[in-house]
Chains A and B, each alone.
Chain A
Amino acid sequence: MSPATRSRPVPDATLIESSQQLSTWATLRRGLELSPELRKGIGVTVMLALISTLGRVVVPFVVQQTTDRGIMAASGPDIGLVLRLVLLAGCGVVLTAVTSYFVNVRLFRASESGLATLRIKAFRHIHDLSMLTQNTERRGSLVSRVTSDVDTISMFVQFGGLMLIVSLGQLTLATVLMVIYSPLLAAVVWLCFVPLFFLIRRFQGIVGRAFTQVRERVGELLGAVSESVVGAATIRAYGVEDRTATRIDTAIENHRRASVSAQIKAVAAFTSGQLVSGLTTAVIVVIGTVLAVHGQMTLGELLAFLFLVQLFTQPVQTATEILNEMQNAVAGWRRVIAVIDTPADVADPADQGQSLPRGPITVVFEGVGFAYPGGDPVLHEIDLRIAPRSRIAIVGATGSGKTTLAKLLTRLMDPTVGSVQIDGVDLRAVRFSSLRSRVVLVPQEGFLFDTTLLDNIRFGKPVATDDDVRLALTELGLDDWLAGLPQGLRTDVGQRGESLSAGERQLVALARAYLADPDLLVLDEATSAVDPATEVRVQRALDSLSRGRTSITIAHRLSTAEAADEVIVVDKGRIVERGPHRDLEGAGGVYAALHASWVAQQQGA
């Protein structure tokens, strides 16, 4: 991205739509749509879950029945009845255990499959998003959308979702049983809990905001810690260890404070449930006693009712915690859905597109203009025809629009107006599979993967053998360099290729593109850190072995321009001159000035 656009705010069009607030319900619906596995067999799972709840409820019911009619029976303890009931409850326990097992297994299988699908969809879509959209987000934030965000969903789906259903079932059942025993006491219980429901809603807001704060502090913490890692060399070179330590300590302390404060708020919210439960028991004992004294209940019924209160309060507490967790899960789900639902504005036409035959390629720009979203135009009315088999150099000052041109050419971006065509077909109508095999860009920072040299070079052509790769390096004149590496092609390049020097990384990136063998190769400052002799050698190899290939080179070093069939000079977003070096050199224009300064540098003025 050009420096001018980086500092400018990017409008919504290219942003991942995290601001788009789907309602909770819509989020869940869309989430289920994206992970069909979650719904598969859900009926059976819920049924099993309800059976297991039934088994769970049978126990307190039996306890209560045993107490009421067995132990405290007017005619003395009825051992037979108690044994029968206990046996029944035992069956309930076993039934619960068995069905719970199946529920758990089914739930894990469905949710893990569904969420794996979601992860993969999101991952794949992030790669489909246009480069501009990708650049609006920090890489770390994109990663969290396919990792921790999905994890919060899985926690909810596996435990929360089902527990919520079970809890609601239990709540209903407990209420029904309570009403049967004593409608009055049942009403009292509900009355005691009503203020709690309101309180919880208030608390949820407070706790939610506190945890949002914590998440922000985590971001700052990670930023500060990463400086001590990524900036290790700079920190040592300038002896600023203490200053960095102070910065990190501040971030750590801020995060600690925010976490403790959030936790205190959460404790206040959740213990309120336990408080209400305890106090409700006290109220029930008091009112129950009065009722019993007036002959409206037996002691057994009152004690039984106390068990029912337990049966009632437990799911209430569980449900409130789950509802809170659900807010987290829905927020995570929303973030993942936002990625998947962000349109890929530079999209693959796929089956509607054309596949073009390989071979010499003609490039045409027709009235092309480009502006970064929300920015001023950086390219104006570019009309250009690049003949097959030609070597083109694009030159111009920093910020003149060269890189933008390269990105339009390789369809990393689409022009705002006009069209870019290869072999007479608009790029937007060319299938990516065809386009990417014909046109390859080598950027200045050629990212290397943490694997061997071999795998990095054949990234674009995995079927290539060791010999193919070795041949490519030989053709590029890099065999000496390869010979100097102790493990040759098996050399590990380290994370981001950091075991190699910056220049070597560029050579690998170049070899990678060369091996992919496109019809059009676009080099954007691809050899800026390579020494002159190697650069000349590589460039010559690219030219002489081009096999009908067109190459377009953007470089500060004008040696490539001298060698090119044609030089295209870009200034302030327009093509101001074009022609062979020989013609432009003496024309007294922009190129002549650039070249003069280059020559002066070469001679060490």
Chain B
Amino acid sequence: MASAPSPTLRRGLRVVGHGIREQPRWFALAVLGSSVYGVMTVATATVIGKVVREVVGPAITARHVSADQLWYAGLLLSAVTLVNIAGIVVRRIAAGITFNNLAALYRRRVTRQYLRLPLSWHHRHPSGQLLSNANADVEATWQVFQPLPMALGVIVMLTVATVQMFLVDPVLAAIGLLVFPMLFVANLAFQRRMSPLVTTSQQLRAEVSEVAHESFEAALIVKSMGREDHEGARFTHVTDRLKNANIEVGRTRGLFDPAIEGIPTLGTLAVLAVGTARVASGQLTAAEVVQIAYLFSLLSFPVRALGWVLAELPRTVVGWGRVDAVLQAKGVMQYGDRALVHDGASRVQADQASYSYDVSREDGTVTKTSPAVRSVNLDVLAGGTTALVGPTGSGKSTLASLVLRLIDPDSGLVRLDGVNLRDVVQGGVPEVGSLVAQQTFLFDDTVRGNVTLGAPASDDEVWHALRISQADGFVAALPQGLDTRVGERGASLSGGQRQRIALARAVIRNPQLLVLDDATSAVDPSVEQAILAGLRELGSSEVGNSADHSPGTTVLVVAYRMATIALADDVVYMENGRVVDHAPHQQLLERCTGYARLVTAYAREAAERAAVLADEDHLDATGAGA
């Protein structure tokens, strides 16, 4: 058997070292408890030997036993048991606390990292993967700390046992010296064979979960296109692979488990055979042989803890790899030290800004999509409403994300009131600008919490914001009004209701820059009209504005509807990631053909249809007349 430690073992031990450094006290306590357990387990055999030698044997020979002797024997044995149990209890509890503390600590670190890393990083990583990093992978990494103290106790146990055996009889001890390393080697070999198998099975398990997750999320599409069997086949395929991998795991386990179990038993038998010979030749007493045989039988179960630790290591290594990748992720957004001025509506400028999305491919590499925004120059003057118009996929949402620094441009820069966004202090941009995204996100919180996001605000202010976003009506009808919990992602509300609460969240901040990214798509046209009218008044609204701040909000709105565009002072027209033109609506209509085609699409369609119908009518009329 090769003796060089496998990479998994080495790396696993390094991770264990990390963990010990994080939780030294609890871990030390667990090992202490475990050492007590190790010593006491061996002591049990010793004490039984002692009791037999000093009490039971003589008593039987003398055909008499005193109450004192019985008390002595009973209490001695009980005491050993009690100390042993105390060790076990300390070991298990301290090991549990070590594990749970480590898991909590790394969950905090991983989620902090999620909050710190830029949005572009999030785009590259499937949310399912990030969830499992923070949950299953953290757990897999530190799970080894549950059996680890016991395994260390077992090493103490084996050491004490070896010493003990040497004290009793070097020849029998030699058997122990033969058996213990054999056990260790067998465990090591087992771990080596298992490690790749377990890793495969773990990956397949994750795959099964991913397929199931995606398939259930797509349930409506699967059903409406009648593809249930196809999905079933996809799931069966990956499930079968998991099944085969697990059977392979079982085969390996089936091979090693009985062997590892059998080795100490064979040791016991060897002790008996050799021991009998030594008793016969008068070198040992029968009681001593029994003591060592008993010792072996006591050890046979605990030594398997070594195997448990080794079996955990592959999971530890894989789990740590995934957790560490998150912790080591680079590209944290850098902030500067400049503050943004708070004196009314903001001016937004972009200078040659470009941005491409990252896409992570199946093989783990990251590629860029073609630029979503290309060398965009933009100057949106303070205080007005500007509509962002363009065909589907022309880069409007990306531009909206850039001006509020949800993402940084790959090249070029974006300025707010003349300040490069990269130079603004952390938290500076959200203080002046608010985005209402195309896809609404609500927290599992109350309506109030979702609107204020923890900022101090009076009920009146909250209601005012809800009123502007046309949400006051349905919120008032909710069972607990503002204090109604909206459920996970706002599940208890309809899409239109969620959008309106998200809008109120922006409105209540009285932002200097408000970016609406198709934020009313799930709202009825008439309600939308009311919202837009309310927003137009936002600039002149007094709520939340102190006297020394001149009121005003720059509104940037991604829009298709003429009504929305008509509210805008200015229109920015985008095509294929570029800003094609920027002017008031009427001018654009006259000089920009793409824009004209887009916004008059319905009208032209209606006109054409009217013409066709007129022709048909004409034909009908003439036909009837003929």
Contact indicator B107/A562 (Cβ below 8 Å): no
Binds B, one of A26-34, A203-211, A496-504: A496-504
Given contact pairs A255-B104, A531-B598, A503 touches B56 in the complex (Cβ within 8 A): no
Contact indicator B286/A72 (Cβ below 8 Å): yes
Judge if B160 is at the interface, Cβ distance under 8 Å. Answer: no
Judge if B230 is at the interface, Cβ distance under 8 Å. Answer: yes
Contact indicator A245/B101 (Cβ below 8 Å): no
- Across-interface contacts of A605 in B (CB, < 8 A): 563, 566
Contact indicator B226/A432 (Cβ below 8 Å): yes
- Across-interface contacts of A228 in B (CB, < 8 A): 111, 114-115
- Across-interface contacts of A147 in B (CB, < 8 A): 205, 208-209, 212
Bound CA span A259–B145, Å: 15
| Cβ contact of A267, chosen from B92, B100, B251, B290, cutoff 8 A | B92
A-B contact pairs, 29 of them (CB 8 A): A3-B495, A66-B272, A66-B276, A71-B275, A71-B290, A76-B280, A94-B262, A97-B258, A108-B247, A123-B232, A124-B232, A147-B209, A225-B114, A228-B114, A236-B406, A239-B430, A239-B431, A247-B443, A260-B96, A278-B84, A289-B56, A398-B494, A433-B226, A484-B370, A486-B369, A531-B560, A533-B598, A601-B525, A605-B566
A interface secondary structure, majority = helix
Minimal Cβ-Cβ distance residue in A for B96 = A263
- Across-interface contacts of B100 in A (CB, < 8 A): 256, 259-260, 263
Judge if A107 is at the interface, Cβ distance under 8 Å. Answer: yes
A551-576 interface with B by 8 A CB criterion: 556-557, 559, 562-563
Contact indicator B259/A559 (Cβ below 8 Å): no
- Across-interface contacts of A77 in B (CB, < 8 A): 276-277, 279-280, 286
Judge if A42 is at the interface, Cβ distance under 8 Å. Answer: no
Bound CA span A473–B605, Å: 21
Given contact pairs A239-B427, A283-B74, A307-B294, A563 touches B605 in the complex (Cβ within 8 A): yes
Contact indicator B443/A231 (Cβ below 8 Å): yes
Contact indicator A271/B135 (Cβ below 8 Å): no
Bound CA span A199–B442, Å: 47
Q: Which of A237, A264, A449 has the most CB of B within 10 A?
A: A237
Interface size of B as a range: 35 or more
Chain A nearest Cβ from B485, distance in angstroms: 11
Bound CA span A398–B247, Å: 54
Bound CA span A335–B59, Å: 60
A531-556 interface with B by 8 A CB criterion: 531-536, 540, 556
| Cβ contact of A229, chosen from B64, B112, B127, B236, cutoff 8 A | B127
Bound CA span A253–B435, Å: 32
Judge if A173 is at the interface, Cβ distance under 8 Å. Answer: no
Minimal Cβ-Cβ distance residue in B for A258 = B100
Q: Which of B101, B215, B255, B393 has the most CB of A within 10 A?
A: B393
Q: Mark A282-314, 1 if CB is under 8 A from B, else 0.
A: 110110111011010011001100110010001
- Across-interface contacts of A222 in B (CB, < 8 A): 131, 135
- Across-interface contacts of A97 in B (CB, < 8 A): 258-259, 261-262
Across the A-B interface, how many residue pairs have beta carbons closer than 8 Å? 500
Contact indicator B605/A237 (Cβ below 8 Å): no
| Cβ contact of A513, chosen from B225, B255, B293, B492, cutoff 8 A | B225
Bound CA span A531–B427, Å: 34
Closest 8 CB pairs of A and B: A604-B566, A436-B226, A108-B250, A278-B81, A104-B254, A3-B494, A239-B430, A503-B392
| Cβ contact of A285, chosen from B56, B126, B438, cutoff 8 A | B56
Binds B, one of A353-361, A381-389, A437-445: A437-445
Contact indicator A285/B434 (Cβ below 8 Å): no
B329-349 interface with A by 8 A CB criterion: none
Chain B nearest Cβ from A406, distance in angstroms: 10
- Across-interface contacts of A255 in B (CB, < 8 A): 104
Q: Mark A423-450, 1 if CB is under 8 A from B, else 0.
A: 0000000001101110011110011011
